[in-house]
């Protein structure tokens, strides 16, 4: 009998550990900013019970997550799956970084070349023509340095 009780306790601990792990990854639909493991909202309590019931019924963690997604939508999980619908969410940091880098490089390039042209525009009192602007850019762009010794 003692071995049977130990086995029962061991199984219950495994169920609790799995349920706790899943609950930490599921967003409380009422609170929004808390996991259901940390929330005391009625819906969180019910979801924790649902998760434990699903595990006791023999469902895998993946199956439990799938059921929660089907019942409550993609936003119930803190880490939504990567597919065509969530690609923008996953790729948005890269897109934002790329755009910011492009803007920075453009501004830096523009700053180096247009300062002199802007100064000439101010001195002349009128903007340079495109041909004059190109001539100025050609003059202001440093040429590759020649070797000192000619080797």
Question: Fold for domain 2-76?
Answer: Helicase, Ruva Protein; domain 3 (1.10.8)
pLDDT in tens, 83-133: 676 677 778 888 899 999 999 888 777 666 566 666 666 677 777 788 877
d(CA 99, CA 42): 43
Q: What are phi and psi of 115, to 5 degrees?
A: -60, -45
Q: Is the pTM for the entire model greater than 0.85?
A: no
Most confident of 48-62, 103-117, 137-151: 48-62
**CA angle 45-51-55, nearest 5°?**
145
């Amino acid at each position: 009998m003692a071995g049977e009780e130990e086995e029962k306790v061991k199984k219950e601990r495994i169920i609790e550990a799995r349920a706790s792990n899943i609950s930490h990854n599921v967003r409380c639909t009422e609170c929004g900013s808390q996991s259901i493991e940390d929330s005391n909202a009625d819906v969180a309590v019910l979801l924790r019970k649902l998760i434990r019931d699903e595990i006791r019924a023999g469902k895998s963690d993946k199956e439990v997550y799938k059921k929660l997604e089907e019942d409550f939508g993609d936003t119930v999980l803190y880490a939504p799956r990567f597919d065509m619908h969530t690609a923008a969410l996953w790729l948005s940091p890269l897109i934002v970084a790329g755009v910011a880098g492009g803007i920075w490089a453009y501004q830096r390039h523009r700053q180096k070349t247009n300062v002199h042209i802007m100064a000439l525009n101010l001195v002349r009192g009128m903007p340079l023509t495109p041909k004059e602007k190109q001539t100025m850019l050609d003059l202001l762009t440093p040429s590759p340095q020649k070797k000192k010794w000619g080797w």
